[in-house]
Amino acid sequence: MRLAELRRGWMLIIGVFLLFMLAGLFSAKNGRKTASRTTSGGTSWLSSNWLSFSQNTDTITKHPITTLMKDAKVAFTKHLARQSKTLPEAVAEYKSRYGRGPPRGFDHWWEFAKERDFKLVDEFDAIDEDLAPFWTLSGEELRRRTYLLGHLPSITLVRIQDGNVSDVPIDKAYVDTELGYRSRGFRELLENFLDKLPNMDLAINAKAEGRVLVPWEHLQFPNFTLQDTSDDMKKMLDGFTPDWEGLGGVWEAYRYTCPPGTPARQLYGSYRDPNVGKPNARLGNSQVSDDPFAFVKSVDDEYDFCENPWAHYAQGHFFSDWRTIPVLSPVFSPSKAKGFADIRIPSHYYLGPSASYTYAYDRFTEHVHVNEIDDMEVPWDRKRDIIFWRGATTGGGSTPPGFTPAYQRHRFVRMAHESTTNNVTIVHALPSRPDTFISTTVPAQEINNDIMDAAFVSAVGEYPGGEEELRKVHRFAASVPLGKHWSYKYLIDLDGMSYSARFMAFLASDSAVLKSTVYKEFFSDWIQPWLHYIPVSSTYSEIYNIHAYFSGPSASTMAAANVAVPGTADWEAVKQERDAQLRQIAKAGKQWKQTIGRRADMEVYVYRLCLEYARLSADDRDAMSFVL
């Protein structure tokens, strides 16, 4: 028996060894076709989202961006063309997608959408995705949880009753300093169809961050609760505090939303940043690609932190100071990262006008001279070929402290700093043969001086070593009015504490928008990356080669390549063609904002959401369904 057991043991060891050998050979074989983003830990950063035409040659004649732009235009054209044209078609499409009929009032919603020339009448998968977990609760339970949510800090209870809407005053056990701007914005979006809505209460998140993190087991087994009682919501209220008070953190709560067996459930994580005391350490930006010729197909809003727990150190929302809600709760929020259970609504910042979040805001005031307005209208050929960003150091909290250097804005400002010491591999056109691309290693310091203008304008929150250390390794500059941003061809949009509220304004600017985010918003399914904007990964590592494709190699790149730039007609024609492609993205983004990102489109979204939620919170859901 003992000998047989030993043989079986050796056979198992040999089998596992051979399996890893084959896996390694397969990986090596495929590595030449599509390179994956690797980190210092060797973990792939969303490799399935990257497109690359890597070749085992010194030169490349086909650029991935050409394919990405072409595919994006085809995809969005098909997207628009397949929308329902009549109410019966829309009802049939709804039943086909969601396996049930639409909610009562769907016919009035359809008329409302058509009157406003709404373009994407079938595209509301976001609502279905957000509301799906709540079908396990009865209407009575959903209403009860909504009312209890109103007692929590930074939650405003909005009541729709008999064609009127108002905030419900509730005596809370906490000093709530939130001013309720998000609930006010939400109420404004209801004005044009309020008389068509059933009575209901909705809990509106007063903060930008997502609030609801439900353990995986609770969603899979609705009768299972952390307290082993059906009154888990009320139990949660008894011990709830506005902040963590040293009793946990967002990442700790997030880990339990992951399925058992995933790395995030097996790895607890560190309570101390290993880079504390090393202000030049660049956690996150060290995750540069082995393949500089790879570009993401879309932003990282589907990034799986459960499978890649190391990546949470590079996202500030995992260190927010505000307590999350561990019970399935219908909280309406402006955005959410993958894993959060919030229900998305349009941000109040998009309703405008405001100086910080509205394009051409000065047009709405009487305190501006004509010359100042003209300054904002910068013709394309007068815009600078610069990647431009200004903002505050917001990006995450301090629970636990010490991780600020890894947050998204800090990483980008540090990457773009003029004193950066690393090198960058640039893939660029060869002037003598503009249809051929070569790679050149360029000091990041030099290329940053050529193409980057990124700086903080104010310091908010904590930083290891204090503000003095922060300013040593991050550039600071004076604040720049929003209208002055339009002087640059490239505007990069970066996450803050949550979503970036400037995205809509940037799209309206007639500049090309580069966007990096891990958040989904209500319009995420409505907008097409590489057509309306340029997606950038959370590492930002491909941004130099995006610029090199559209604007050509910079002066420092040409100097490093030791290649003279001939004044040939072919070279000038290629430069103009690539610039025209960038211009087309800028124009398409602006057109999208004017036709699909309007206030009217937000109203259509919220109208549909309210009908869906009214049915969900009803005692008799079948009676709240629409019958054609």
163 φψ region: left (φ > 0), alpha (ψ -120 to 50), beta (else):
left
Query: By C-alpha distance, which of 337, 609, 366 is closest to 499?
Result: 337
Mean pLDDT, to the nearest integer, of 122-126? 98
C-alpha dist (Å) from residue 351 to 128, 160, 210: 24, 20, 20
- Beta-bridged to residue 332, according to DSSP, are 204, 343
Distance CA 384, CA 511 (A): 10
Domain boundaries, the chain: 384-596
Q: How do residues 529-578 score in pLDDT, each as one tens digit?
A: 999 999 999 999 999 999 999 999 999 999 999 887 666 777 888 889 99
Query: By C-alpha distance, which of 316, 471, 473, 337 is closest to 402?
Result: 316
What's the confidence (pLDDT) of residue 17?
39
Distance CA 375, CA 352 (A): 21
- Tell me the one-letter amino acid at 476: F
Distance CA 209, CA 249 (A): 14
Distance CA 603, CA 190 (A): 7
pLDDT confidence of 271, banded at 50, 70, 90? Answer: low
Tokens 């939130």, residue located = 178
Tell me the two tokens of residue 288.
């540069």
Mean pLDDT, to the nearest integer, of 114-133? 98
What's the confidence (pLDDT) of residue 571?
81
Distance CA 103, CA 622 (A): 9
Distance CA 496, CA 324 (A): 18
What's the confidence (pLDDT) of residue 606?
98
Q: How, if at all, do strands 155-161 and 200-205 pair?
A: antiparallel
Distance CA 187, CA 197 (A): 13
- Tell me the one-letter amino acid at 402: G
Examine the pLDDT at 284 and tell me if it is beyond 50: no
Distance CA 145, CA 471 (A): 46
Query: By C-alpha distance, which of 45, 41, 571 is closest to 294?
Result: 45
Q: Kindly report the CATH class assigned to 384-596.
A: alpha beta
SS3 15: helix
Distance CA 122, CA 124 (A): 6
Q: How do residues 174-198 score in pLDDT, each as one tens digit?
A: 777 777 889 999 999 999 999 999 9
Q: Answer yes or no: are the C-beta atoms of 313 and 283 closer than 8 Å.
A: yes
- Beta-bridged to residue 439, according to DSSP, are 427
Query: By C-alpha distance, which of 238, 258, 351, 363 is closest to 312?
Result: 258
Percent of the chain with pLDDT strictly greater than 70: 81
- Tell me the one-letter amino acid at 105: G
Q: What is the DSSP letter of 141?
A: H
What's the confidence (pLDDT) of residue 567?
66
Q: Answer yes or no: are the C-beta atoms of 566 and 431 closer than 8 Å.
A: yes
More confidently predicted of 361 and 258:
258
Q: What is the mean pLDDT of the chain?
A: 84
Cis peptide upstream of residue 353 (ω within 30 degrees of 0): yes
Count Cα neighbours of 400 within 13 Å in the Cβ-side half-sphere.
Answer: 15
Tell me the two tokens of residue 626.
């629409």
Tell me the two tokens of residue 186.
């939400």
